[in-house]
């Protein structure tokens, strides 16, 4: 049997500031979607490995939480400059392990920098309150960290999603166990190295690799106070129920089926370009991807332009790979089924091959018209560069389709009418709304998070809303009798 060599050293866990071997643990191979090359291996850790990471985080917590936030934040200012210094290498690594284009990988790392910058502003945002509530009696409330918290990440943003949680949770005084996706574990190693270089004390951030077993152990571990999860809805539900069942706070972000409503008065060029980019960016592997377009009335002229735009998106050039061979097969199966069910394929990305990268996992941009609501492709998350177009005659019918989806991450409308835009803002059942914007990701300090089955839990995962998630309020009531002062000078 041919033995393939690893391009990167075998990944280890990271506990108390040290790479830590997991004796006897099984490993999984990590492949590059770009060409199928073997990059590394990742350990499938067990609950014992988690115990060690939680113990390290617990040991670090008293000292870390006692550091004033104005000092904690200095480490993250330094960290931000290190991310900027290494932006090229970090982007290359994201590209290699995830398969996206360099520009997309770089945009992801730049977003990580913005998230770090927001965390640096937290001292300005978390000041407490104090009020004299009756003569001589004062109430004061201040934000305190929770203790040891956990963050579980998906494959589609190996660098950015860990930054949704690490900077805010740590600046606010918590210690963390991060569980990266086993499909893209390399970026997390670099994040830990750079944080150490920036001066983060050992044990404040720990990394435990693995899959289902370690996620379940995180939900069960009595030493972990809060669990943040990002991934598919199926697993988000399991994690939310299990973590909260163990009396932890939890925010669990799930999958999506984002509807882009296109009205006949929409600007054709802008709409076509936006919809094509929304459905195909990051090879459609974004929870913000516009995967369903609902055309209202006479929009054939926009569909024609959209297909022209989508044709310009070429696998291996401005379109990256999907994460795995299995993902490619699943996406192509969705297209096959839609075709068999009577939908019309306007642009077919099945069986895409990139010369020189024949073993890469590519799917070309695919546009499917006359999809009906009962078809699987209209209901399920495809997570590939595939757009399903449904047709309605009224805006209310289009909104009814959007509202009927169990998901609710994002929704967008393309129109030049302010009143129609406002109507969609008010009636779409999604947490993030775009008006003439296909990927309406809120920028900091606004928070990121969907509705319905796209997010379980009360808080959003980033921005101001996340402050509530990562902290608890301590309320102190004080009373001093002004008459009882001792005059020690006499
Ligand atoms: P996933 O649910 O398969 O995996 C997410 C995490 O859960 C990984 O760390 C994985 O190891 C772990 N996991 C997998 N199976 C498990 C199981 N049976 N029990 C416990 N843990 C398990 O998701 P993915 O494929 O890595 O990521 C893609 C999904 O994430 C898509 O559905 C996408 O929409 C979603 N996503 C959502 C957001 C959002 O903000 N809502 C952001 C990014 C990705």
**Same structural domain, 235 and 144:** yes
Provide the whole-model pTM: 0.97
State how many domains the chain has.
2
Residue 273 lies in a domain: yes
**Same structural domain, 262 and 250:** no
Looking up residue 287, the CATH number of its domain turns out to be 3.40.309.10
Task: Choose the weakest-confidence range: 22-31, 106-115, 171-180, 469-478.
Answer: 22-31
332-390 confidence digits (pLDDT tens): 999 999 999 999 999 999 999 999 999 999 999 999 999 999 999 999 999 999 999 99
Q: Which helix (H) or strand (E) holds 138?
A: strand 137-145
**Same structural domain, 311 and 236:** no
Across all residues in the chain, what is the average pLDDT? 97
Please, are residues 259 and 411 in contact by the beta-carbon 8 Å criterion?
yes
**Same structural domain, 185 and 289:** no
Q: What is the pLDDT of residue 486?
A: 73
- With a pLDDT cut of 90, the percent of the chain lying above it is 95
Which of the four pLDDT bands, split at 50, 70 and 90, describes residue 298? very high
Residue 489 lies in a domain: no
Residue 440 lies in a domain: no
* Closest approach atom of ligand 1 to CA 448: 40
250-280 confidence digits (pLDDT tens): 999 999 999 999 999 999 999 999 999 999 9
Q: What is the pLDDT of residue 356?
A: 95
Q: Is the CB of 255 under 6 A from ligand 1?
A: yes
What span, in angstroms and rounded, lies between the C-alpha atoms of 383 and 334? 10
If you measure from the C-alpha of residue 37 to the centroid of ligand 1, how many angstroms do you get, rounded to a whole number?
A: 23
**Same structural domain, 249 and 266:** no
Residue 168 lies in a domain: yes
Residue nearest to atom 15 of ligand 1 (CA): 212
Residue 152 lies in a domain: yes
- For residue 315, what is the DSSP state? B
* Closest approach atom of ligand 1 to CA 210: 11
Q: Is the CB of 450 under 6 A from ligand 1?
A: yes
**Same structural domain, 44 and 161:** yes
Count CA atoms closer than 13 A to 63's CA, side-chain side.
9
What span, in angstroms and rounded, lies between the C-alpha atoms of 279 and 289? 5
**Same structural domain, 224 and 89:** yes
**Same structural domain, 45 and 146:** yes
Global ipTM: 0.99
Nearest to 387 by CA among 365, 414, 416, 417: 365
Residue 490 lies in a domain: no
**Same structural domain, 271 and 215:** no
Looking up residue 461, the CATH number of its domain turns out to be 3.40.605.10
192-221 confidence digits (pLDDT tens): 999 999 999 999 999 999 999 999 999 999
**Same structural domain, 199 and 336:** no
If you measure from the C-alpha of residue 255 to the centroid of ligand 1, how many angstroms do you get, rounded to a whole number?
A: 8
390-402 confidence digits (pLDDT tens): 999 999 999 999 9
- The parent domain of residue 138 ranges over 13-255+449-474
Q: Which long-range contacts (CB under 8 A, 24 or more apart) does 234-239 make?
A: 236/453, 236/455, 236/456, 237/453, 237/456, 239/152, 239/215
**Same structural domain, 147 and 281:** no
**Same structural domain, 458 and 352:** no
């Amino acid at each position: 049997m041919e033995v393939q060599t690893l391009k990167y050293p075998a990944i280890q866990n990271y506990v108390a500031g040290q790479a830590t071997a997991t004796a006897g643990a099984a490993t999984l191979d990590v492949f590059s979607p770009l060409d199928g090359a073997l990059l590394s291996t990742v350990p499938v850790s067990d609950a014992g490995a988690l115990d060690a990471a939680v113990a390290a985080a617990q040991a670090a917590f008293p000292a870390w939480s006692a550091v004033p936030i104005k000092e904690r934040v200095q480490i993250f200012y330094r960290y931000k400059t290190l991310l900027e210094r290494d932006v090229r290498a970090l982007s290359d690594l994201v590209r290699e392990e995830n398969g996206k284009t360099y520009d997309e990988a770089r945009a992801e790392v730049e977003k990580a920098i913005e998230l770090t910058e927001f965390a640096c502003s937290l001292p300005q945002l978390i000041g407490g309150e104090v009020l004299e509530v009756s003569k001589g009696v004062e109430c004061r409330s201040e934000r305190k960290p929770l203790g040891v918290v956990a963050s579980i990440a998906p494959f589609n943003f190996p660098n950015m999603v860990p930054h949704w949680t690490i900077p805010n949770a740590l600046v606010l005084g918590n210690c963390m166990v991060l569980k990266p996706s086993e499909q893209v574990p390399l970026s997390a190693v670099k994040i830990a190295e750079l944080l150490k270089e920036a001066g983060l004390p050992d044990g404040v951030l720990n990394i435990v690799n693995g899959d289902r077993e370690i996620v379940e152990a995180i939900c069960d571990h009595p030493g972990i106070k809060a669990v943040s999860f990002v991934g598919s809805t199926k697993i988000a539900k399991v994690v939310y129920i299990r973590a909260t069942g163990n009396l932890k706070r939890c925010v669990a972000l799930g999958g999506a089926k984002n509807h882009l409503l296109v009205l006949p008065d929409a600007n054709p060029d802008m709409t076509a370009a936006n919809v094509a980019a929304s459905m195909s960016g990051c090879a459609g592997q974004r929870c913000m991807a516009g995967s369903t377009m609902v055309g209202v009335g006479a929009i054939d002229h926009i569909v024609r332009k959209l297909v022209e735009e989508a044709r310009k998106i070429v696998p291996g050039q401005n379109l990256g790979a999907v994460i795995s061979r299995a993902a490619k097969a699943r996406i192509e199966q969705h297209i096959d089924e839609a075709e068999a069910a009577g939908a019309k394929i306007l642009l077919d990305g099945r069986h895409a091959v990139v010369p020189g990268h024949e073993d890469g996992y590519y799917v070309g941009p695919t546009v499917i018209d006359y999809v009906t609501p009962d078809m699987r492709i209209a209901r399920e998350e495809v997570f590939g560069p595939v757009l399903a177009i449904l047709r309605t005659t009224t805006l209310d019918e289009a909104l009814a389709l959007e509202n009927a989806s169990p998901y609710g991450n994002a929704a967008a409308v393309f129109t030049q009418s302010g009143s129609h835009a406002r109507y969609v803002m008010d009636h779409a059942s999604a947490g993030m709304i775009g008006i003439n914007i296909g990927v309406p990701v809120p920028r900091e300090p606004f928070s990121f998070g969907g509705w319905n089955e796209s997010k379980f839990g009360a808080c959003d995962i980033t921005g101001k809303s996340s402050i509530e998630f990562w902290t608890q309020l301590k309320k102190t009531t004080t009373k001093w009798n002004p008459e009882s002062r001792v005059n020690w000078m006499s």
